[in-house]
Amino acid sequence: MIQVPQGFRLAAANADFRGKKLKRNDLCLVLSDVPANAAGVFTTNLFKAAPVLISQEHLASGAPMRGVLINSGQANACTGDKGLEDCRASLDMVARALCGQGTDIGAETLLPASTGVIGAHMDMEKWRAAMPALTGSLGSIDLEGLARAMMTTDAFPKMAGAVLELENGCVRLAGVAKGAGMICPNMATMLALVMCDAAVPAGMWRAMFRRAADATFNRVSVDGDTSTNDSLFGLANGASGVSVRDGDLPRLEKALTDVLGQLAYMLVKDGEGATKVMHIHVSGAKNDAEAEKVARAVGHSQLVKTAMFGRDPNWGRIVAAAGRSGADFDPMELKVTLCGVELFSGGRPSDLDFDALLEKPLENVDIPLEISLGSGTGKARLLASDLSTGYVTLNSDYRS
Amino acid sequence: MIQVPQGFRLAAANADFRGKKLKRNDLCLVLSDVPANAAGVFTTNLFKAAPVLISQEHLASGAPMRGVLINSGQANACTGDKGLEDCRASLDMVARALCGQGTDIGAETLLPASTGVIGAHMDMEKWRAAMPALTGSLGSIDLEGLARAMMTTDAFPKMAGAVLELENGCVRLAGVAKGAGMICPNMATMLALVMCDAAVPAGMWRAMFRRAADATFNRVSVDGDTSTNDSLFGLANGASGVSVRDGDLPRLEKALTDVLGQLAYMLVKDGEGATKVMHIHVSGAKNDAEAEKVARAVGHSQLVKTAMFGRDPNWGRIVAAAGRSGADFDPMELKVTLCGVELFSGGRPSDLDFDALLEKPLENVDIPLEISLGSGTGKARLLASDLSTGYVTLNSDYRS
């Protein structure tokens, strides 16, 4: 069981946002007992949900934050000005309810996130009704309870943590995420949150959080679509009393990257209808950006994804995707190695019996795919799901 | 029945390139009785099949061509130097066989194209054995026979034609295409050929052919993957005796664009597992390139494609794809109209009962989708297939 870092209390409640009287929580709150340095990474989609806009506004102040408020079932996206008002009203309610319990925080120190049906306005009556249960549960919810309250169609709750012995003492990191689960009318929203009880200067924390997100959450592909609501938060509250020294920063960043990396891996593994996780590693590109082009072209290719689902060592589709990626390399230098078996080099498929050699390895969930371009030192990694009949069924049958 | 333009003779034979003793032709030849002005558009993939490289070489001379030679079942891609030798040998065989019949052409006036299994070397014995049947059939094959000899897993042969009354007389256009059918180990290859019996200056013909291809074949999306072998040819032989005057050029270009457009439409309609053709029209972008970004993001989106398969008027997926396209526009100005019903404007879904209004229209094969960005005069069109369980089954089960 992953421990919640010091000075954080978790709360969750069932607000019935889906209107289906399900016995599950759909509202949760992470509260830091002291102001925490806060970082956020958000969807780059032009259509940003109200909670994304308001989280960005709160973070832009540079001030420390007290918490994150997440609901599932109502995305509050494409809801116009009323959506912004509703979002602010929900934060006010939480701040007032906490005040009634003796915890005095400003609504502008809360970061909101939502996932669920887009286009519809939030049901503020349901928010109001859920407040006593939410604030009443504060401190009684564990990390898994938090992860479960964020879930939409995720098959499993997603949690990761790390304990780090630094020179001045021990610090903890713990994170939760929800994946690309779909909900009527179907947006794949990625939400994640990492808590850390180390004392890290705000600028350092923000910079390392952005780099860690870039190396992990920005390196996954389920279907290439991005949502109106994608949000990723990081709070460092210093409640451990352990100040991170300059010499400790690389280790803290590594631990943070590891926690985000575990969560990102779980997202791909739990991608809709996914049966495989391709671990794509491109090397030998002219630069990292060129390597990323190849990784994304291969990882997003419907033909490569369906081949993986079919356990088919289809070098032709991999080679063709690399060739149309827009990256500049010499086709004669390309090497493709799948599950340790070299499929292609020197412009030709290798002379091995791929089907026999790869029949067993391709039954695994995790499929390593190495692509070497032989044209430089640029490299990139990407985790990509396969494309199954299950994906199409899930995404075309939402009415049923 | 579409007439073959004057001065072209067609030939086809069964070379059994697939080695399955199927009763179908897999080799075909288009021969012009006189040298024809020739144009070609080819895959931009870095991995170009041997016939693509050789066709590009022959066209680079600027000299008129005598014909196009197409085989299906063996792609001759990723076959190295031997692939180039084999391709040249196949052209020599045809030139020699024609010479034996009294038709004297140089092998360098033939344009080769291949589709089928990649990575394997061609079986030159099969080429040799098929020569008498191929050249013996010259003139006895009609347009449909030509279209059928190019097919791989296409569900139907693809043909289109036009007759144009110009000031000096009547000219004909006729074209054939094969679609994104798959064949072990599975490359989606697009091949097409247009014959025209008008006398058009070479430079004019090449320029209009490129523009027409750009407006049609480069505006379709089945799965976003491009093959090693995609090739598109245009031959104008002047055999009608009708010289195209400057004032006729726009009408000829329109007819050519129309023929290529019909073929491109058939490719999408016969895309693997496709049940729908989305006719995406983006307008109001800052410029045409920005409009194209939106059209491609929407047309390639797995979430939009699966929604169409599921007959789901899912405005959220369309809006989100536009929003992540990279095009710059004001989200409040975006309008989405599906089958004539406005789904979204002013940042909000419209207040209509989409499901009721669109239930019947979404049963159609052809689905018009208008996206207006309200930010300029740029526009773009794209034809895109849906994404069905059939696509995934076809592309993951190739072994069965």
| Residue B25 in domain | yes
Specify whether A248 is located in the same domain as A216.
yes
| Residue A370 in domain | yes
Active-site entry in B43, B79, B135, B189:
B189
Active-site entry in A79, A135, A189, A228:
A189
Chain B's closest residue to A223, CA to CA, is B302
Kindly report the nearest CA distance between residue B224 and chain A, in angstroms. Answer: 8
| Residue B264 in domain | yes
For A123, left (φ over 0), alpha (ψ -120 to 50), or beta?
beta
| Residue B1 in domain | no
Specify whether B251 is located in the same domain as B288.
no
- 3-class SS of residue A381: strand
Range in A385-399, B137-151, B349-363 with the lowest mean pLDDT = A385-399
Could you give the C-alpha distances from B39 to B56, B64, B67, B192, B233, in angstroms and in order?
Answer: 10, 9, 12, 12, 6
Four-point Cα dihedral B193, B196, B199, B204, nearest 10: -50
- Which of B252, B269, B286 is a domain's end point? B269
A192 pLDDT band (50/70/90 cuts)?
Answer: very high
Tokens 């408020």 belong to residue: A69
How, if at all, do strands B169-178 and B158-166 pair?
antiparallel
Q: Within B161-274, where are the H helices?
A: 202-215, 249-269
| Residue A1 in domain | no
Residues in chain B closer than 8 A to A395 (CB atoms):
302-303, 306-307, 310
C-alpha B159/C-alpha B150 separation (Å) is: 12
- What is the extent of the structural domain holding A351? 277-396
Residues in chain A closer than 8 A to B187 (CB atoms):
316-317, 320
| Residue B86 in domain | yes
Residue B341 has pLDDT above 90, yes or no: yes
Q: What is the pLDDT of residues B105-120, one digit of tens each?
A: 999 999 999 998 889 9
Residues in chain B closer than 8 A to A119 (CB atoms):
315-316, 348-349
| Residue B2 in domain | no
Summary mean pLDDT of chain B? 92
Q: What is the DSSP string of B297-346?
A: HHHH-HHHHHHHHTT---HHHHHHHHHTSS----GGG-EEEETTEEEEET
**DSSP classification of residue B248:** G
Specify whether B256 is located in the same domain as B302.
no
Specify whether B181 is located in the same domain as B96.
yes
Of the two residues B239 and A355, the one the predictor is more confident about is B239
Range in A168-172, B61-65, B298-302 with the lowest mean pLDDT = B298-302
Number of domains in chain B: 2
B254 pLDDT band (50/70/90 cuts)?
Answer: very high
Q: What is the pLDDT of residues B286-310, one digit of tens each?
A: 999 999 999 999 998 888 998 999 9
Across residues B129-144, what is the average pLDDT?
97
Of the two residues B324 and A234, the one the predictor is more confident about is A234
The per-residue pLDDT for A188 is 61
Specify whether B251 is located in the same domain as B309.
no
Residue B226 has pLDDT above 90, yes or no: no
Kindly report the nearest CA distance between residue A11 and chain B, in angstroms. Answer: 31
Specify whether B232 is located in the same domain as B315.
no
Model pTM above 0.90: no
Beta bridge partners of B157: none
Check if the beta carbon of residue A11 is closer than 8 Å to that of residue A138: yes
- Which of A235, A269, A303 is a domain's end point? A269
Closest by Cβ to B45, choosing from A46, A323, A389:
A323
Cis check: omega of the bond before B185, within 30 degrees of 0: yes
CATH code of the domain covering residue B186: 3.60.70.12
**What tokens appear for A61 in the block?**
């102040």
Give me the percent of chain A exceeding a pLDDT of 70. Answer: 96
**What tokens appear for B206 in the block?**
């090449």
Specify whether A336 is located in the same domain as A312.
yes
Residues in chain B closer than 8 A to A303 (CB atoms):
186, 188, 223, 225, 395
CATH code of the domain covering residue B355: 3.10.20.340
How many Å separate Cα A212 from the centre of its chain? 11
Characterize B339-355 residue by residue with b for buried, 16 or more Cβ atoms within 10 angstroms of its Cβ, and e for exposed. bebbbbbebbbbeeebe
The per-residue pLDDT for B364 is 93
Q: What is the pLDDT of residues A285-295, one digit of tens each?
A: 999 999 999 99
| Nearest-10 crossing angle of helices A249-269, A202-215 | 40
| Residue A2 in domain | no
The per-residue pLDDT for B182 is 42
Specify whether B263 is located in the same domain as B333.
no
Specify whether A302 is located in the same domain as A285.
yes
- Which of B236, B269, B302 is a domain's end point? B269
Summary mean pLDDT of chain A? 92
Specify whether B84 is located in the same domain as B223.
yes
Specify whether A84 is located in the same domain as A119.
yes
Could you give the C-alpha distances from A8 to A5, A66, A101, A145, A258, in angstroms and in order?
Answer: 6, 9, 16, 14, 21
Residue A314 has pLDDT above 50, yes or no: yes
Specify whether B296 is located in the same domain as B179.
no
- 3-class SS of residue A288: helix
Q: Is A189 a catalytic residue?
A: yes
How, if at all, do strands B220-221 and A169-178 pair?
unpaired
Chain B's closest residue to A388, CA to CA, is B392
